[in-house]
Amino acid sequence: MIEHFTPREIEAMRPAGRFVGEALNTLRGEVAVGTNLLEIDARATELIAQAGATSCYVDYHPSFGAMPFGKVICTSVNDGALHGLPHDYTLRDGDLLSLDFAVSINGWVADSAVSFVVGQAREEDLRLIEATEAALAAGIAALQPGGRLHDVSAAIGDVCRGAGYGVNLQFGGHGVGRTMHGDPHVPNDGRPGRGLRLQPGLVIAIEPWLMATTDEIYTDADGWTLRSQDGSRAAHSEHTVALTEDGPLVLTARE
């Protein structure tokens, strides 16, 4: 069921969005060459406790996961595209890391992701990250009252394909509210003018993700991490966005 929220309810979502944005900023600032993925998860757990928030991931067990996730943040490294399960891995110079983080505060959920290079960056990695960020910005800009949901999808897809990347449609954005994953599904490509009529009160996570030289994925032996089929690197950018009478409001903005 697709939910629409009142202005007061959207206002109540702001603390969760603000915390998620601030937490990702904090983690990005602290992660360095030599940081272990389990240290990132421990630090995220600490931030959650300090904020009085609740993780959306620990007990999360959808059909595509082999078991409950068991950690509080997704840490996808290099060819890891989505749902990276934190494990005993120490980050090396040049690793491409994506952090995906979702919590609930006072019953309201926010979800966001950021990708960056640890240490010395390769130009092709920066270009990949920039494409996801540009696609995210285009998708947010297309979220307008009276439009259609696939206007958002088409805007994302145009940027991704225009940059020379393939688009995987198995996973995309989604509704957000009292739960982390709800309706509608927001594909990362589509035809404008189609899909749900966009009305104020809709809250969705918009999340373009790309792999450098493929659009095919497989599930790692850990039962969670989705990796590029050919081993090429991946990047992921995401914000939780509310549609208001005045247009899109990014709830997880990172100052």
Summarize the annotated binding site for substrate as residue ranges: 83, 181
- Of the candidates 220, 87, 127, 160, which has an alpha carbon nearest to the alpha carbon of residue 172? 160
**Residue 145 C-beta-side C-alpha neighbours within 13 Å:** 10
3-state secondary structure of 159: helix
CB 193 within 8 A of CB 150: yes
Q: What is the DSSP letter of 242?
A: E
Residue 180 dihedral angles phi and psi, to the nearest 5°: -75, -40
List residues forming the annotated binding site for a divalent metal cation. 100, 111, 174, 207, 238
List residues forming the annotated binding site. 83, 100, 111, 174, 181, 207, 238
Cβ atoms within 10 Å, residue 82: 22
- Of the candidates 95, 70, 72, 74, which has an alpha carbon nearest to the alpha carbon of residue 83? 74
Query: Which amino acid does the sequence have at 78?
Result: N
Cα 250 versus chain centre, distance:
13
